[in-house]
Amino acid sequence: MNLNQITLPVINIEKANHFYLTLGFTQIVKSPHYSRFECANKATFSLVLADHAVTNSAVIYFECDDLNQWVKSLKAKGIKFDTKIVEQRYLWQEVKLKDPSGNMIKLYWAGENRLNPPWRVDIRAELE
């Protein structure tokens, strides 16, 4: 099973479209109330126009193998970050920012630790 679609509420779809295009995503659907973007791995995410600000606590993670360069290029394009790149205790490097509607975004690099951290469980062993 694959996770392939996340939809984020936005209060200004044009500003949100510009933001995600600036991050480097490919827009594949555009309407006055809905947009969809394609990621490098062919997964997609979408934006839906909300009639009022929506507060949610979800965090959307986008991974890049050259996080430092990506952040540097985005800063040069005017993207503002809430933190510097941080080495997390769970062995990921990440930086926080928000989209124009306040949705929390983390750009990160986890490498092998995303799917195979040192503490990965073996559910088969637990079932025996």
Q: Give me the DSSP letters along 58-99.
A: -EEEEE-TTHHHHHHHHHHTT---SS--EE-TTS-EEEEEE-
Task: Tell me the residue range of the domain where 41 lies.
Answer: 5-127
Q: Average pLDDT in the 90-98 region?
A: 97
Domain CATH for 45? 3.10.180.10
The answer to whether 50 touches 7, Cβ cutoff 8 Å, is no
Instruction: Check residue 6 and give its pLDDT.
Output: 93
Count the helices and strands in the chain (H runs, E runs).
Answer: 3, 8
In three-state secondary structure terms, 38 is strand
Instruction: Check residue 123 and give its pLDDT.
Output: 78
pTM over 0.85: yes
- State the average pLDDT for the chain: 94
Q: How many domains does the chain have?
A: 1
Instruction: Check residue 23 and give its pLDDT.
Output: 96
Instruction: Check residue 126 and give its pLDDT.
Output: 64
pLDDT tens across 35-81, in order? 999 998 889 999 999 998 888 889 999 999 999 999 999 999 999 99
Instruction: Check residue 122 and give its pLDDT.
Output: 84
6 CB-near residues (< 8 Å, 6+ apart): 45, 46, 60
